[in-house]
Amino acid sequence: MKKYSRLPAFIKNYRVIYLIVVFALLAISGFIFALHFGLIIAIAWLVIVALASLLIYSLVNSLGIDFQTYMTNLNGRVSISQTSALDQMPIGVMLLNSDSDIEWVNENLMNVIGDHSIIGKNLKQADSVLYELVQANKDSGSTEIDWRDGKFSLQVQHDGQTIYLLDLTDVSKYQLFYERDRLFYGLISVDNYEEVIQDATDSESSRLIAFISGRLDGWSKKYHLFLKRMSADRYLFFGRLPDLKSLEDDRFSILDEVREESLKQNMPLSLSVGIAFGVSDLNDLAELAHRNLDLALGRGGDQVVIRNDDNPALYFGGTSNPMAKRTRVRARMIDQALSDLFANADSVFISGHQNPDMDALGAALGVWRMSRLHDLTAYIVIDEQNLQRDVQLVVEKIKEEVATSNNKLKQQLADGQTLKLVEVPFISEKKALTLASEQSLLVLVDHSRPSISAAGQLLDKLKSSLVVIDHHRIADEGFKEKPILFYVEQYASSTSELVTELLGYEDRRKSPLTKVEATALLGGIQLDTKGFTAHSGSRTFDAASFLRAAGADAQLLSSFGKESKEDLLVKSHLFELMVLDHNIATVVGENDVFYNPVLAAQAADELLKIQGVAASFVITRRPDEKVGISARSDNSINVQLIMEKIGGGGSLANAAAQIVSDDVKKVETMLQDAIFQVIGHKE
């Protein structure tokens, strides 16, 4: 073994050993063959083989030595080159041993450290901050760190023994300069301007324009903005992102200033602002700002919407009750546009939100009647297994009337005549999916959020032929494709009011509203106005008068709204769970009890009747495995903004949220955080 270990390295290679064995076998075979020609020839053969073996050994050994020498020199040159490259490269490199002692530091990192005596020291003692950063980021790949008054990209390899540090300080400065110089684009609309100015004298109009321009001019100079007036009620402005941050910190107080000062002049005005940033193309930036302004107006005005393409919208303002800006001219235009859509459709499908209330059903029946006036086949998509009690009674009443009408038709049928029965307007979504065609029209009523639609699959199928009619503030959630008609009027009391106005422009002689349909529409208005005590304007009473003339029956409506003894007991129990903190009443139901969402909403309404309560929140488990929040206020607290913080929506005094959870206490904590974010504290 000792002799073998002293052999040249190349001989230890088993492939060489195999070659030697083969050579030896050939030599022995040759020797045996040579014996046939005589002993002298055989001995000569052995001498030749021995000399050849020595010569081959010498040559191969010499070749191996030369090769090893070459590789040694090459490795040395490569090592020198690598060391030189590591030393000169613009990345800091540090090598540690297993005890975290510093073995080598390249020139780049040494210039940062500034201490040439660091070699041989333990990293923890030499630089405890860097040591902690290395220990914390051993397995995290490349990480940005703050170290020695600069920013670096840190990467740790070989179990913490090789450290790479790329100085990002200058890059961060350039990035900061870039962000500081990026532009944002904004548009301002003066809300209610046309309505205010039409009754003003010339001097009052001039004074009003001067007031708005003066306020905005001072505001723009304060925040270093470029402001340009495009018309009497429209402005555009540019600024840099740090100035936008200053505006956000100020919470856009210009909204309050304009609203309060204009009220003092008996000319109530407010501002709506759309701001866009983060888009390099100026045309796209302007388009996004226009969309944000439309969103601010659709949510009721008197607010700011800030958004880029990558992040959710930020909202400021919107805390006041929106002023009525709806005109009959717009309603007439919407009716004409809807009539044109009906003319090009072969069928109409109407859907409310999940678990529809009387406003959703009444509006759906109104749109269904409009479709019938245009000789279209129309259907209302509902889930009859999940209906509120009053809605269920209306559905049953309509089915009863259809059955009665069909019986009369059968009795009046003469010999040879074809019987055309009246169809029940209600179908399931599954059935609607089989009936819908490319020429079908889908009308969503009383909601503008796809996630709460009662016909989500049908919406996906008919997304390119969609109409939306609603009175709630527009949420940030959008549709896959822009609706071809979007009629959202947050100033209306209810969707039933909007649909009733549209019906007023139709020729109803051919197919008039039935008593039940008119009653359902009136019930929708009555529900959302809390019996005409909230959100009611002159247009609301005009719509109610129209419906009474069309046959709406107050007694029939009262029968739909009667409560059962069990429902009253459930609401009484919820009242017992109320906690009043200052002027906010909160009810949190039991975690193991599922409550009817309608009863929870009614409980929230009735809590406002308690003296000293400005806002109420009822949190309960729902039958659909979610936790629901019903939020109400007396207009002094914007519950819509609170609900939006946790994924819900609604209007200033009436909002809700549905959260996927099985723990009401967690949802209560979310609600408390949202309240704090919106109003700062419980007043």
Binding residues for Mn(2+): 353, 357, 359, 446, 471, 528
Distances (CA, A) of 209 to 205, 227, 230, 619: 6, 15, 13, 47
How many alpha carbons lie under 13 Å from residue 215 in its C-beta half-sphere? 22
CB atoms within 10 A of CB 357: 22
Phi, psi of 301 (to 5 degrees): 75, -175
Tell me the β-bridge partners of 682: none
Q: How far, in whole angstroms, is CA 186 from its chain's centroid?
A: 22
Tell me the β-bridge partners of 186: 237, 275
CB atoms within 10 A of CB 199: 9
d(CA 652, CA 321): 7
Collapse the DSSP code of 491 into the 3-class scheme (helix H, G, I; strand E, B; otherwise coil) and give the result. Answer: coil
d(CA 515, CA 506): 17
Tell me the β-bridge partners of 229: 235
- What is the Rg, in whole angstroms, of the alpha carbon atoms belonging to the chain? 41
d(CA 263, CA 113): 64
d(CA 355, CA 373): 27
Structure tokens at 116: 């040439």
Closest CA to 644 of 212, 313, 236, 323: 313
Spatial neighbors of 54 by CB under 8 A, at least 6 apart, are: none
Annotated binding residues, written as ranges, equal 353, 357, 359, 446, 471, 528
d(CA 45, CA 38): 11
Closest CA to 31 of 40, 18, 22: 40
Tell me the β-bridge partners of 349: 379, 442
d(CA 572, CA 526): 23
How many alpha carbons lie under 13 Å from residue 306 in its C-beta half-sphere? 14
d(CA 348, CA 377): 6
Structure tokens at 544: 């109610």
Collapse the DSSP code of 314 into the 3-class scheme (helix H, G, I; strand E, B; otherwise coil) and give the result. Answer: strand
- 193 sits in the region (left: phi over 0; alpha: psi -120 to 50; else beta) called alpha
Collapse the DSSP code of 142 into the 3-class scheme (helix H, G, I; strand E, B; otherwise coil) and give the result. Answer: coil
Closest CA to 386 of 409, 360, 420: 360
Collapse the DSSP code of 516 into the 3-class scheme (helix H, G, I; strand E, B; otherwise coil) and give the result. Answer: helix
d(CA 70, CA 11): 19
Collapse the DSSP code of 226 into the 3-class scheme (helix H, G, I; strand E, B; otherwise coil) and give the result. Answer: strand
- Strand-pair category, 627-633 with 649-650: unpaired
